[in-house]
Amino acid sequence: MRRVVPVAAALLFLAVLAVALRPASTVAPRQPPTPGEGIDEAELQGRRGALVDRVVFTREADVGRVTGLIEAGSHQVFTQGISSTTVFNRLRDSLHTAYDLAYGTASELTLNPAGPELATGELNPFHVPAIREALNRLIDRRYIAEEIFGGLAVPRYLPLSTAFPDYARLADEARELELHYAHDPEAARDVIHREMEALGARFAGGRWWYRDAPVRLIALIRTEDERRRIGDYIANLMEDLGFAVERRYRTAEEASRLWIASDPRAGHWHFYTGSWITIVILRDQAEGFSFYYTPRGRAEPLWQAYRPVPEFDELADRLERRDYRTWVERQAMMTRALELAMEDSVRVWLVDQLNASARAANVAVAVDLAGGLSGSALWPYTLRYTDRVGGQMVFGTPNLLTEPWNPVAGSNWASDRMIMRATEDPMVIPDPFTGLYLPQRIEGAEVTVEAGVPVGRTLDWLSVESAEEIRVPEAAWIDWDGDAGRFVTVGEKHPEGVTARTRTRVAYEEALFERRWHDGSTLSLADFILPWILTFERADEGSRLFDVAHLATFEAFQRHFRGWHIVSRDPLVVEVYSDQIYPDAETIVAARAPAPIPWHTLALGILAEGSDELAFSSNKADQRRVDWMSLVAGPSVPILERQLRRARERGIRPYPAALGELLDAEEVAARYRALADWYAERGHFWVGNGPFELHSVHPVAGSVVLRRFAEFPDPADKWLRFSRPAIPELDLDGPLVVEVGEAAAFHLAVTFDGEPYAAEDIEQVQFLLFDGRGELARRGEAEALDDGLWRLALSAETVAALGAGANSLELAVTSRRVALPVFASHVFATVPAGGREGAP
């Protein structure tokens, strides 16, 4: 009988993987300097915005060249997470390089659910949920983690990152599912044979046949990283089962045109070697079911082909809205959603990766523990040389301009989004170590929740209070009248009144409307309101902007949205009413605080889509047979330039009934004039307000240039306090042999940099005790004895219940200073009373 390793042990303990891979003779990785270390304080005085003057992104897909290019001085930073042990060791051992670790990347198998027959007339086995589900047992995740990734990955079965808090909270349920879907190729084969025959296929001569032709599977295999080997491994498994597999090796850009941009029914692919980077630490992963398994996830054709069973669809929607009253109810919903996700399996999760992002030894930057460098919201604010201010840096990135850039439904690729973030200045910014949001352009916030709703706060920049009833003001906007081009108030739509589970009042900084966009335009209230209008317009079937792919997302939004109310215009204070909650009040504010998009660039996109020349989303572009809109490159740019000329000539104001009073003729003319000058100088329409501006785009040469925005308002050292994460270091000690009938005590030392970890900074130390059969015998919490020292006691009765044999104690430590749970384990034997042997 196959032995199954307990789930926590199977993790290989993410936080200590790098140490386990390091030979004993080497030293620990070099850490980023402390804030401002090595920089002359005089250079920081008066410096605003970015600490470097220019960043050049160049396409570099060969990860094997990373260390050499940094050592040669041609590149200073690489955005791609390194998961190759060979490259990692080379990077670690070089005197000229440094690296940062991140835990938020996952590899999975994306399956095409269309069918059962595709437009080609061929059979698609993955239309059948049971076949998709069977792949979970067919694939050996441990082989992928240990052989393909060389130990820089851990098996992942579920739509929960093994590195985030929800996995530790649901450890019991996770383990049960992992046992259920453990590697069992014979069981998988039986299910696949049964379901294939039910589809009308026949198995003869070791091959599957359908209508006298072999059943062909097209494998869309990414070539830039370990996914090439993953794709070949999966293809080999499917060939062994009797399928004819056509392997199509593609880069990111080539593959995205097929798995994302094309209609799944067209039959261009059957499975794709996918990968996802979670760019911030997700303290709550409840939204993942809607995102990964339902049409509400994204606007692309693939997501619109998803057909989850009604129970799963409803549960995913409820979890996205946080439609629960208690934490216990939430956990029960999460457990059932995990079960249904595995039965659905439109994507089969394979591994969670440990990635290292490479940089020169004299470069420092704030890196997110989940998303690494490419996912870090703070990289534009903290990127610097450790010995000087200013200068240029060259970034290597495997993909560049992978998909079109537009602010409504443009590229979601990590490589594109990383550059975009440098040009944006968000209202709140996630802490790269905890995932809690911090204020950037707001003075503070007040969150009011319905009595009994499970919401808490950690930080003191916001407040939380409860109320028996939260009534929405009659003047609040709740809907949109497309014919009249104006918002509909609560009083108009619901004369009887409306209540909400939450009210979020956001007070923006007083100088907000003194801020400037990169083209010199001054921020205005219209920049906040026009994006809201688009939310409704794109869901209105009578609008030229209607996009069926947006409808599912909008309908989910409508189920929780209860109103939007401007309390004060200057300074700006906004209230948003909603039935959707999050466990953390900081996340509620981040989800509710309206963010601006320059109305004049958005207006060009509206005009272009309204005239059927371009489309914001890939789905609508495909339906209308027009280009997916890009504000930075390609055939979209001359179309947008023509729309700009038209807008200037006619002084076009978008939605004058709603925005007319906010946009006088002078501002309209000034905005379009500034945008025309911007385009004339830079050749694109991407205007932001972040610490960097998009200076130039070179698609053919494969480069993008960012330049420091000199008028950025913040001091350059504002975010430099984020230096390195205080990930707990664990040392679990206890007896190796315990006699049945005896009590046992285990001690855990928790440190960071050799110093005791303050007990008040530890949120929880929970343990799972597994018996020799791998079954959970007990779950509980350890007690704090002092800073850095915890004790776990097992009673004599608990030990007796284990019986004689080998047992495993697994601990999960959750810190308030970092959100990643850290694991430790201890194996001990229980023997009959008197069963110990004396020392010789």
Question: What are 413's strand-pairing partners?
Answer: none
Q: How far apart are CA 371 and CA 161, in angstroms?
A: 12
Is the pTM higher than 0.75?
Answer: yes
Residue partners of 631: CB distance under 8 A and separation at least 6: 405, 406, 407, 410, 601, 605, 637, 640, 684, 685, 686
Q: Which two tokens stand for residue 233?
A: 């491994």
Give the mean pLDDT of 572-579. 96
Give the mean pLDDT of 287-309. 92
From the options 3.30.420.40, 3.10.105.10, 3.30.360.10, 1.10.760.10, give the CATH code of 105-352: 3.10.105.10
Q: How far apart are CA 379 and CA 366, in angstroms?
A: 5
Closest CA to 830 of 743, 767, 740: 740
* pLDDT above 70: residue 25: no
Question: Residue 836 has what pLDDT?
Answer: 52
Question: Residue 19 has what pLDDT?
Answer: 27
Q: What letter represents residue 338's amino acid?
A: L
H, E, C per residue of 59-91: ECCCHHHHHHHHHHCCCCEECCCECCHHHHHHH
Question: Residue 192 has what pLDDT?
Answer: 97
Question: Residue 835 has what pLDDT?
Answer: 54
Question: Residue 36 has what pLDDT?
Answer: 47
Question: What pLDDT, in 10s, does the model give residues 464-487?
Answer: 999 999 999 999 999 999 999 999
Question: Residue 37 has what pLDDT?
Answer: 55
Strand pairing report for 561-569 and 572-578: antiparallel
Across 334-343, 450-459, 690-699, least confident range: 450-459
Give the mean pLDDT of 493-516. 96
Question: Residue 592 has what pLDDT?
Answer: 94
Give SS3 for 270. coil
Question: What pLDDT, in 10s, does the model give residues 84-122?
Answer: 888 888 988 999 999 988 888 899 999 999 989 999 999
Q: What are phi and psi of 672, to 5 degrees?
A: -65, -35
Q: How far apart are CA 632 and CA 57, in angstroms?
A: 15
Question: What pLDDT, in 10s, does the model give residues 603-640?
Answer: 999 999 999 999 999 989 988 999 999 999 999 999 99
Give SS3 for 794. strand
pLDDT band at 753 (very low <50, low <70, confident <90, very high): confident
Question: What pLDDT, in 10s, does the model give residues 135-162?
Answer: 999 999 999 999 998 888 889 999 999 8
Closest CA to 728 of 662, 809, 818: 818
The CB density around residue 182, as the number of other CB atoms within 10 Å, is 19
Cα angle 670, 642, 687; round to 5: 50
Question: What pLDDT, in 10s, does the model give residues 232-270?
Answer: 999 999 999 999 999 999 988 788 888 988 899 999 999
H, E, C per residue of 589-622: HHHHCCCCCCHHHHHHHHHHHHCCCEECCHHHHH
- Which parts of 442-520 are beta strand (E)? 442-450, 462-467, 477-481, 486-489, 502-508
Strand pairing report for 477-481 and 486-489: antiparallel
Q: How far apart are CA 633 and CA 222, in angstroms?
A: 24
pLDDT band at 60 (very low <50, low <70, confident <90, very high): confident
Mean pLDDT taken over the chain:
90
Tell me the CB-side half-sphere exposure of residue 316, using CA atoms within 13 A. Answer: 27
Question: Residue 33 has what pLDDT?
Answer: 41
Q: What are phi and psi of 13, to 5 degrees?
A: 60, 80
Question: What are 353's strand-pairing partners?
Answer: 105, 153
* pLDDT above 80: residue 9: no
Is residue 528 within 8 A of residue 587, CB to CB? The reply is no
Q: What letter represents residue 172's amino acid?
A: D
Give SS3 for 407. coil
Q: How far apart are CA 539 and CA 529, in angstroms?
A: 16
Q: Give kind and range of the element (H or E) at residue 712.
A: none
pLDDT band at 40 (very low <50, low <70, confident <90, very high): low
Question: Residue 568 has what pLDDT?
Answer: 96
- Which parts of 645-775 are beta strand (E)? 692-698, 703-708, 729-733, 737-739, 744-752, 755-756, 762-770
Q: Please enumerate, as own/partner, the contacts of 718-721 that have beta carbons within 8 Å and a separation of 24 or more.
A: 718/381, 719/366, 719/378, 719/381, 719/382, 719/429, 720/35, 720/36, 720/382, 721/35
Q: How many percent of the chain have pLDDT more than 90?
A: 71
* pLDDT above 70: residue 26: no
Give the mean pLDDT of 186-206. 96
* pLDDT above 80: residue 303: yes
Question: Residue 116 has what pLDDT?
Answer: 95
Give SS3 for 740. coil
Q: Please enumerate, as own/partner, the contacts of 414-421 that have beta carbons within 8 Å and a separation of 24 or more.
A: 414/277, 414/279, 414/371, 414/374, 414/375, 415/79, 415/252, 415/374, 417/279, 417/374, 418/79, 418/373, 418/374, 418/375, 418/379, 419/57, 419/694, 419/704, 419/706, 420/688, 421/377, 421/379, 421/380, 421/690
Is residue 295 within 8 A of residue 306, CB to CB? The reply is yes
The CB density around residue 94, as the number of other CB atoms within 10 Å, is 18
Q: Which two tokens stand for residue 471?
A: 């009534």
Q: How far apart are CA 128 and CA 145, in angstroms?
A: 27
**Which burial class, exposed, middle or buried, applies to 700 when counting CB atoms under 10 A from its CB (0-12, 13-18, 19+)?**
exposed
Q: Give kind and range of the element (H or E) at residue 517.
A: none
CATH superfamily name and code, 7-12+726-831: Macroglobulin (MG2) domain (2.60.40.1930)
Question: Residue 4 has what pLDDT?
Answer: 28
Question: What are 569's strand-pairing partners?
Answer: 572
The full length of the chain comes to: 840
H, E, C per residue of 626-643: CEECCCCCCCHHHHHHHH
Q: How far apart are CA 358 and CA 353, in angstroms?
A: 16
Where is pLDDT greater, at 224 or 480?
Answer: 480
Domain ranges (residues) in the chain: 7-12+726-831, 47-100+364-424+697-721, 105-352, 452-689
Encode burial over 407-425: b for 16+ CB neighbours within 10 A, e otherwise: bbbbbebbbbbbbbbbbbb
